[in-house]
């Protein structure tokens, strides 16, 4: 037993798998590439019209949908066949924004616009855009468009507002001032 040696495993000289290159010759066991049938020509309901003079072929395939047995000319099933005047049978989805359901405010008369301008120029501190908008039932943007304050008056009002804001900021605690400074710095990097 000691003198008996195990023979090393010998491999066959041929491959057990198909090589990628070179490709097999035609007529071998390789499957040919798949060629999908033409859906127009191979359709049994397709109508083929050939014009040999121009070397053209027209192929018409009707749509794959079948008419519904419950479809009538007075009430067709397909929405494409309905007339635009026919009522919509299904309910519309709800509006995304609640403000889209609001009715717009009524248009202001010329006299009302003149009155807005007069009040705004008389005392812009008392008659702000918000107050005028509430009084005349319109938007603040409309008031700003119709009766904008003069640049000199606007600059004074902005300066006064900034002074009030600065006085309020001085009342802040150290922690609040730090939080505001951090958020302003963060906003710079957006």
- Asked whether residue 171 carries a pLDDT value surpassing 90, the answer given is yes
- Mean local confidence (pLDDT), 92-117: 85
How far is 139 from 145, CA to CA, in rounded Å? 10
Q: Which two tokens stand for residue 121?
A: 């120029």
* Domain segments of the chain as ranges: 107-148, 150-190
Tens-place pLDDT, residues 27-62: 666 666 778 877 777 777 788 888 888 888 888 877
User: The pTM is what?
Assistant: 0.41
Q: Give the C-alpha separation, 30 to 23, whole Å.
A: 9
pLDDT at position 170 over 90: yes
Between CA 46 and CA 43 the distance in angstroms is 5
């Amino acid at each position: 037993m000691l003198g008996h040696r195990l023979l090393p495993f010998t491999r066959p000289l041929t491959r057990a798998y198909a090589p990628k290159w070179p490709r097999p010759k035609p007529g071998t066991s390789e499957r040919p590439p798949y060629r999908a049938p033409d859906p127009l020509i191979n359709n049994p309901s397709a109508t083929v019209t050939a014009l040999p003079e121009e070397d053209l072929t027209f192929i018409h395939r009707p749509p794959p949908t079948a008419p519904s047995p419950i479809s009538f000319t007075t009430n067709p099933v397909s929405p494409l066949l309905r007339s635009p005047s026919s009522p919509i049978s299904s309910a519309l989805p709800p509006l995304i924004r609640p403000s889209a359901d609001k009715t717009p405010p009524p248009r202001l008369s010329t006299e009302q616009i003149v009155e807005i301008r007069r009040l705004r120029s008389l005392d812009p501190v008392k008659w702000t855009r918000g107050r005028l908008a509430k009084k005349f039932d319109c938007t603040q943007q409309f008031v700003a468009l119709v009766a904008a304050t003069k640049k000199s008056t606007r600059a004074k009002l902005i300066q006064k507002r900034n002074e009030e804001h600065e006085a309020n900021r001085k009342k802040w605690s150290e922690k609040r001032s730090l939080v505001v400074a951090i958020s302003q710095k963060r906003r710079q990097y957006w």
